[in-house]
Structure 1
Amino acid sequence: MDQPSLALHLSKPITCVAIDSKEQHIATGDESGRINIWHSFATAVAQAEPASLACGRSLNPDGIYLLSGGSEAVLVIWQLETGKRNYLPRLGGPLTSIEPCGADPALYAVCQADNTIRVVNLATMTVTCSIHGLRQMPRPLPVQGPFTPAVVAGATGELVVPGDNALLQFYDLVHDRHIAKLQVAPRNPVSLTDKEAAMGGGVYGAPAQPLVSLLAFSTNGRCMATVDLRPDAGAQGSAEPSLKFWERSGAGSAAASPFTLNSQADGPHQGGVNALAYHPREHMVATTGEEGDFKVWERAVLRTGTAAGVRTSHRWSCRSVGSFRGEPLRAATFSPDGSLLAVAATQTATLWDPFNNVLIAALALPAASSSASQLTSLAFLHCSATLVGASRGTSPCLVVWDLLTLSGQEIHPAWHEGGGCGAWSRLARAHSDLGPATYPCSGFAVHTAQQQPARNRPPVLPIGLFAPSGHDYGSRVLAGWRS
Structure 2
Amino acid sequence: MITGGQSLVSSAPAFSNDAKKILVCTGNSVSVFSVHTGMLITELVSHTDCVTSVIVVPISGPVSQLMSYCWTSSLDGCICYWDFSAPELLKMIKVQLPIFSMVIPNISNPSIWMNEKESKLYAFVSVENKSKLAEHPKAPCGQIQLFNLTDSRRVGGLLCETRKPEVLHVSKSGEFIGIVNKRKLNVWCIPSKQFRSDEVKRIRLHHTKDLSTLAFHPVERVIAGGDVTGRILIWRGFGQRMFSKKQLENGARIKDEEVRPGVRGDDDADSCTTWHWHAREVKFLFFSSDGAYLYSGGKEGVIVVWQLDTGKKKYKPRLGSPLISFVASPDPTLSCVSCADNRIHFLKMPKMELIRSISGIKLPFSLPNAHDSSSHGFAFHSMSGLIALPAEDYCIQFFSLFDNMEVSRVQICERNFQPVDDIMVRVSIVALSADGSTMGTIDVKVPEEGLGGLVTLKFWSCASLVGQYSLSTVIYEPHSDAQVSEIAFRPGYSMAVSTSLAGDFKVWVNSSSNGQECEMNPKSGWRCQSVGSYKKMPMTAAAFSADGSVLAIAVESIVTLWDADRNALIAVIGNSIGPICKVSFVANSQYLISLSRCPKPQFAVWDLSKLCMHWSYKLVVEAVSSTEYGTQFAILAINSTNCEAKISDLDGVILLFDLENPVPLSAWLVKKAKGGGLAFLSRDMLKEKSSDDGNSPLLAYVNGDHEYTIFDPSSKDDHIVRNARSTHVPDEEPERTGYVSIYGELPEFDIKRKKVSEIPFVPSERPWETIFSGSSHILPPLNKLCSTFFESLLEKRPTVNL
Shorter-normalised TM-score: what interval?
0.7 to 0.9
Aligned pair in 2 of structure 1 residues 433, 112: CA closer, same or farther (>3 Å)? closer
* Helix, strand or coil at the partner of 2:450: helix
> Within 5 Å, which residues of 2 pair with 1:16-415?
16-41=213-238, 42=269, 43-102=271-330, 104-146=331-373, 148-153=376-381, 155-192=383-420, 206-232=421-447, 236-237=450-451, 239-249=453-463, 258-269=468-479, 270-301=481-512, 311=521, 313-365=523-575, 369=577, 373-408=578-613, 409-413=615-619, 415=641
Contact 1:24 1:63 in 2 (8 A): no
Letter of the 2:585 counterpart: F
Q: Deviations over 1:297-324 (max 9, x none)?
A: 1111189xxxxx9745421111111111
- Deviation of 1:229 after TM superposition, in Å, equals 1.7
Structure ranking higher on relative contact order (CA contacts 8 Å, 6+ apart): 2
Provide the rounded CA distance (Å) in 2 between the counterparts of 1:465 and 1:100: 40
Equivalent position of 2:696 in the other structure: 472
Provide the rounded CA distance (Å) in 2 between the counterparts of 1:183 and 1:422: 35
Aligned pair in 2 of structure 1 residues 14, 80: CA closer, same or farther (>3 Å)? same
Contact 1:165 1:210 in 2 (8 A): no
Aligned pair in 2 of structure 1 residues 334, 209: CA closer, same or farther (>3 Å)? same
- Deviation of 1:154 after TM superposition, in Å, equals 5.8
Provide the rounded CA distance (Å) in 2 between the counterparts of 1:15 and 1:479: 32
Contact 2:301 2:419 in 1 (8 A): no
Aligned pair in 2 of structure 1 residues 293, 392: CA closer, same or farther (>3 Å)? same
Moved more, 207-216 or 149-158: 149-158
Provide the rounded CA distance (Å) in 1 between the counterparts of 2:703 and 2:294: 47
Q: Deviations over 1:375-397 (max 9, x none)?
A: 11100001321001011234311
Provide the rounded CA distance (Å) in 1 between the counterparts of 2:387 and 2:438: 15
% identity of equivalent residues: 29
Is 2:630 aligned against 1:416? no
Contact 1:400 1:411 in 2 (8 A): no
Contact 2:653 2:670 in 1 (8 A): no
Equivalent position of 1:437 in the other structure: 664
- Deviation of 1:209 after TM superposition, in Å, equals 4.2
Aligned pair in 2 of structure 1 residues 93, 107: CA closer, same or farther (>3 Å)? same
Is 2:657 aligned against 1:426? yes
Letter of the 1:301 counterpart: S
* Helix, strand or coil at the partner of 2:579: strand
Q: Deviations over 1:421-452 (max 9, x none)?
A: 35233132xxx343x436343479xxxxxxxx
Letter of the 1:75 counterpart: I
Moved more, 122-131 or 380-389: 122-131
Provide the rounded CA distance (Å) in 2 between the counterparts of 1:378 and 1:32: 47
Moved more, 278-287 or 15-24: 15-24
Provide the rounded CA distance (Å) in 2 between the counterparts of 1:3 and 1:466: 55
> Within 5 Å, which residues of 2 pair with 1:443-454?
none
Q: Deviations over 1:71-124 (max 9, x none)?
A: 22111111111222121111121111111112x123221000011111112223
Provide the rounded CA distance (Å) in 1 between the counterparts of 2:701 and 2:337: 38
Aligned pair in 2 of structure 1 residues 25, 258: CA closer, same or farther (>3 Å)? farther
Provide the rounded CA distance (Å) in 2 between the counterparts of 1:109 and 1:463: 31
Provide the rounded CA distance (Å) in 1 between the counterparts of 2:377 and 2:286: 34
* Helix, strand or coil at the partner of 2:475: strand
Aligned pair in 2 of structure 1 residues 285, 427: CA closer, same or farther (>3 Å)? same
Provide the rounded CA distance (Å) in 1 between the counterparts of 2:668 and 2:202: 53
Provide the rounded CA distance (Å) in 2 between the counterparts of 1:121 and 1:468: 40
Q: Deviations over 1:11-55 (max 9, x none)?
A: 222222111222522111112111111112222111111424311
Aligned pair in 2 of structure 1 residues 238, 402: CA closer, same or farther (>3 Å)? farther
Aligned pair in 2 of structure 1 residues 160, 348: CA closer, same or farther (>3 Å)? same
* Helix, strand or coil at the partner of 1:333: strand
Provide the rounded CA distance (Å) in 2 between the counterparts of 1:176 and 1:478: 14
Provide the rounded CA distance (Å) in 2 between the counterparts of 1:110 and 1:463: 29
Moved more, 121-130 or 259-268: 121-130
User: Larger % of strand: which?
Assistant: 1
Q: Deviations over 1:307-365 (max 9, x none)?
A: xx974542111111111111111000111110011000011100001221100110012
Aligned pair in 2 of structure 1 residues 69, 310: CA closer, same or farther (>3 Å)? closer
Provide the rounded CA distance (Å) in 1 between the counterparts of 2:202 and 2:313: 32
Contact 1:154 1:217 in 2 (8 A): no
Contact 2:676 2:701 in 1 (8 A): no
* Helix, strand or coil at the partner of 1:99: strand
* Helix, strand or coil at the partner of 1:243: strand
After TM superposition, which residue ranges in structure 1, 4 or more long, deviate above 6 angstroms?
460-471, 476-481
Aligned pair in 2 of structure 1 residues 258, 11: CA closer, same or farther (>3 Å)? farther
Letter of the 1:356 counterpart: R
Equivalent position of 2:203 in the other structure: 6
Provide the rounded CA distance (Å) in 2 between the counterparts of 1:402 and 1:132: 44
Aligned pair in 2 of structure 1 residues 245, 189: CA closer, same or farther (>3 Å)? same
Provide the rounded CA distance (Å) in 2 between the counterparts of 1:126 and 1:49: 22
TM-score under structure 2 length normalisation: 0.50
Provide the rounded CA distance (Å) in 2 between the counterparts of 1:462 and 1:129: 31
* Helix, strand or coil at the partner of 2:345: strand
Contact 1:98 1:108 in 2 (8 A): yes
Letter of the 2:616 counterpart: E
Aligned pair in 2 of structure 1 residues 466, 311: CA closer, same or farther (>3 Å)? closer
Provide the rounded CA distance (Å) in 1 between the counterparts of 2:502 and 2:676: 21
- Deviation of 1:64 after TM superposition, in Å, equals 1.0
Aligned pair in 2 of structure 1 residues 143, 239: CA closer, same or farther (>3 Å)? farther
The structure with the largest alpha-carbon Rg is 2
User: Larger % of helix: which?
Assistant: 2
* Helix, strand or coil at the partner of 1:55: strand
Alignment coverage as a number of residue pairs? 431
Flag structure 1 segments of 5+ consecutive residues without an equivalent.
Answer: 193-205, 252-256, 304-308, 445-459
Aligned pair in 2 of structure 1 residues 50, 119: CA closer, same or farther (>3 Å)? same
Provide the rounded CA distance (Å) in 1 between the counterparts of 2:461 and 2:509: 14
Aligned pair in 2 of structure 1 residues 239, 16: CA closer, same or farther (>3 Å)? farther
Flag structure 2 segments of 5+ consecutive residues without an equivalent.
Answer: 1-190, 192-198, 239-268, 620-638, 684-694, 705-802
Contact 1:423 1:480 in 2 (8 A): no
- Deviation of 1:465 after TM superposition, in Å, equals 8.0
CA RMSD, aligned part only?
3.1
